[in-house]
Structure 1
Amino acid sequence: MMKWRHGLLFPLILAICLGGLSAWLGRISEVNIEEVELNPNEPQYSMVDIDGRRFDEQGRLKENLNAEVAWQLPKSDEVTFEKPQLIFYDNGKLLYKVESNEAGYDTETRTVVFKENVVLTKTAETQRPAGILKTSNLTVDTQTKIAETKAPVEYRYGDSYGTANGMVYDYNKGFLNLPSRVKAIIYDPNNI
């Protein structure tokens, strides 16, 4: 009868020890996740010396965005850049670049709003002359390749130059629209 008690006692003690060990391991391995609300006025993240590149389907450089500093606030779709430079390419050839003191990139609409000392430089192409435009702010839609502002602008497009209040430049059409208060000297390269 003594054998029977020891034969039953060992599995019972083993089961109790294993159950206790399992409960103890379960308790110490629990991770309590505490969600902390971020300060909406402080960056969720920030980066230094940005150099982002986007390539086309053939692997050629399509867009290059670089900046000294970038940051994004919590619950915001806009990334803010200091001293940004956005450069566009087509088939690996430089089209134009936009530089300013500050910019905001909306990740949803893929538009960039350049602010303070904005300079847009367009390289010369076979059918289109080089150009440069200076203004205080400029919105660039990276999808449609349209740049626009309502602020005063100074521009030079080939041998033509002038000033205006506001402008819309459609790269795909090669069309610069100056809607109001235009002062310009325009040269037609075909009549020179």
Structure 2
Amino acid sequence: MNGRGHSFFPLIVLTIMAGVSVWLDRVTQQEQAIKTDKNRHEADFSAESLTLRRFDLAGKIQYVLVADRMVHYGDDESTELVRPRLDYLNRPEPVRIESEFATVSKDGATVVLTDQVLLRRAAHNGKPESTLRTDQMTVWPDDEKMRADKPVKLTQGQTVITAEHMESDNIVGEVRLHGQVRGMLYRTNPTPKP
């Protein structure tokens, strides 16, 4: 029996090695399948009722981003937001930007708002509320800059201005309108005549 046991030992070792080889082959194929699945544009996680607060260097809230739903995609690290609202709170007159949908870049520095974009600046120091409406707007929240490459409509009290494109820098307080700018300007206080 001892002679027979020694003759089965190489067969047992070969069987174990064959089993390990088959197992390693299957494991590596599963890892490749996982990698190819990551190339598909599928959500890897989502969240409901999202609230994100950004603080400035002094510790005061710079802005608050709220969305009904957030979906993140692992293949390109992009994020989609449903009904986003971006509130800038670090100014005398609060500013809110909202839309039906938005996409956020991988690094979070760029937000593209689409579908019924509305920017509302509260009334302040005797100036009436201001609004801006467009179909698409790119926002750089940290820099407080915006650009609309679709037609825009600005209102402030009775003043209404339309343009094909718009760029804005909230920190500087500058708005640039481009392409067939038209409007009616109304002054609340008439300019005295000399």
Q: Shorter-normalised TM-score: what interval?
A: 0.7 to 0.9
Contact 1:131–1:156 (CA under 8 A) maintained in structure 2: yes
1:101 shift after superposition: 0.8
CA-atom RMSD, angstroms?
2.4
Alignment of 1:11-160 (within 5 A): 35=31, 36-37=34-35, 38-39=37-38, 40-90=40-90, 95-108=94-107, 110-126=109-125, 130-160=129-159
What do the CA deviations read for 1:22-45 (whole angstroms, capped 9, x no partner)?
A: xxxxxxxxxx89743344221011
Name the % identity. 24
Bigger mean CA offset, 57-66 vs 177-186: 57-66
Instruction: Give the conservation status (yes or no) of the 8 Å contact 2:42–2:75.
Output: no
Displacement of 1:146: 1.3
1:176 aligned to 2:175?
A: yes
User: In 2 relative to 1, CA 129–77 (structure 1 residues): closer, same or farther, beyond 3 Å?
Assistant: farther
Q: Answer yes or no: is the 8 Å Cα contact 1:105–1:112 preserved in 2.
A: yes
**Normalization by structure 1: what TM-score?**
0.73
Look up the equivalent residue of 1:56 and give its one-letter code. D
**Which one has a bigger Cα radius of gyration?**
1
Deviation at 1:124, TM superposition (A): 2.9
**1:186 and 2:174 aligned:** no
Structure 2: gaps of 5 or more residues:
1-26
Aligned partner of residue 80 in structure 2, secondary structure:
strand
- Further displaced range: 68-77 or 113-122: 68-77
- State the SS of the aligned residue for 1:144: coil
**Structure 1 residues 135, 174: CA separation in 2 closer, same or farther (over 3 Å shift)?**
same
* In 2, Cα distance between equivalents of 1:144 and 1:52: 16
* CA-CA distance at 1:142 after TM superposition: 1.3
Question: What SS is found at the alignment partner of 2:123?
Answer: coil
* Uncovered stretches (5+) of structure 1, i.e. residues with no partner: 1-31
TM-superposed CA distance for 1:105, in Å, is 1.3
Task: Give me the whole-angstrom Cα distance separating, in 1, the residues matched to 2:157 and 2:100.
Answer: 26
Report the CA distance between 1:113 and its aligned residue.
Answer: 0.5
> Take 2:172 and 2:128, find their aligned partners in 1: how far apart are those partners?
14
Change (3 A) 1:130 1:107: farther
